[in-house]
Amino acid sequence: MSRRRCRPVTLLAGLLIPVLSAFLLPSVLVSGSAAAGTSHTRAVPLTELTVVSERVASGLRRPIAITGLPDGRMLIAEKEGTVRAYHPDTGLAAEPVLDLTDRIDPSDNERGLLGITPAPDFARTGILYVAYTSLPAGALTLARVPIGAPERVQVLLTQEHAEYGNHNGGQVAFGRDGYLYWSLGDGGHANDPFKAGQDLGTLLGKIVRIDVNRTCGANPYCVPFDNPFVRVPGARPEIWLYGLRNPWRFSVDPVDGSLWIGDVGQGLVEEINHIRPRQGGANLGWSCREGTPVFDPQQCRSGGRYTDPVFEYDHYNDNCSVTGGVVYRGSRTPQARGTYVASDYCSTRVFAVRPQSGGGYESATIGNFPTQPTAIGTDVHGELYVLSDLPGWLSRVQFQWVEPASGSGVANR
């Protein structure tokens, strides 16, 4: 192709057009615009974002957990013990890709198949890691299984949980460090009946961190050497975090490896915690505290150090149970990158939280999800999906830019 020298007028116009465009065009474009692929689009204030949802599948039976696969499919766990596959090009597959119903105790509203995540090498091995309440007595169980081969389940770790059917936790996820994280509730009922939250001798009320790529002694896993309680007498070395009530949904930010945890409150507040990789061993407070308020002074230790939630909201005004979500790292709406999105099972409000460069966190309520959100997940491209429990829906979620409105949002903390 031949080259020509630009005339001065043409060159001047070429310089002026981008400059004028910067003043004349909106600074934030609705998701899906041509500018969405730019890499340096600025993040906008959370009060200028809202979410919209589009139902893409129905007919699920109490969908409870969702995870993306490298081939573009989404795997959806159903409470009774089946795993279904959805692909945006072909929809929801009629038959499950995995059936664990003969191993799972789905009694009570909170028992069942609770969490699924693919192994980092899933494309080669087809291995899934699953968390469930097992027959006959509801023990909290972490296992791995090749997709499509339920007879080859290998149980890795269990925690007895027979007395009550609620507070089972159940999220599983791999960190950037390659270790597997698993959340467990405090044992159920109410008021922390076993005082498990502050007890390092039990896995109840904890998030554990283990190395599933090696075996150590009789265990089909190893405990990472830098787990915070490895050398603490009487403590379970698998523990990574403690002081939790029912962290049934947490996620790992793929950019910095931090954990975002939605912990269900007793009846006063719901809370979201943000834990950096360097904060292993953090005490999140339960049942000394429920969020930031003191709950049971007898469980508070003199001189104890508790890690505050980065966001909390009241248990009233139609709220009942936080559904922890994910940090948005997709490309469809770059203005929303780095925003953590969570919801509430009853009110369906969507809460957005984002760290601020100078410290602290920005937060806002940015819309509503469809009814009874049980899990928020991402596909292989980092785009958002949400599950609805009893209706059995899967919905695709997108951000949109909205005009700033005075008085909107939730107070920062």
Parallel/antiparallel/unpaired status of strands 239-242 and 98-99: unpaired
Q: Which of 46, 48, 47, 28 is nearest to 38 (CA)?
A: 28
Q: What is the pLDDT of residue 401?
A: 86
C-beta of residue 395 within 8 angstroms of C-beta of residue 386: yes
| Run of H or E including 10 | helix 8-24
- What is the pLDDT, as a whole number, of residue 306? 98
Q: What is the DSSP string of 336-360?
A: GTT-EEEEETTT-EEEEEEE-TTSS
Return the CA Rg of the chain.
Answer: 23
Strand 384-388 relative to strand 393-401, pairing: antiparallel
DSSP 174: E
> Would you give the DSSP letter of residue 211?
B
Beta bridge partners of 206: 184, 242
Q: Where are the alpha helices (DSSP H) in 25-149?
A: 122-125
Residue 103: predicted pLDDT: 98
* Whole-number pLDDT of residue 16: 36
pLDDT of residue 36: 37
CA distances from 143 to 21, 155, 213, 292 (A): 55, 4, 13, 34
Return the CATH number of the domain spanning residue range 30-401: 2.120.10.30
Residues with Cβ < 8 Å from 11, sequence gap 6 or more? none
- pTM here is 0.89
Full pLDDT tens readout for the chain, 413 residues: 333 333 333 333 333 333 333 333 333 334 333 333 344 578 899 999 999 999 999 999 999 999 999 999 999 999 999 999 999 999 999 999 999 999 999 999 999 999 999 999 999 999 999 999 999 999 999 999 999 899 999 999 999 999 999 999 999 999 999 999 999 999 999 999 999 999 999 999 999 999 999 999 999 999 999 999 999 999 999 999 999 999 999 999 999 999 999 999 999 999 999 999 999 999 999 999 999 999 999 999 999 999 999 999 999 889 999 999 999 999 999 999 999 999 999 999 999 999 999 999 999 999 999 999 999 999 999 999 999 999 999 999 999 988 765 654 444 44
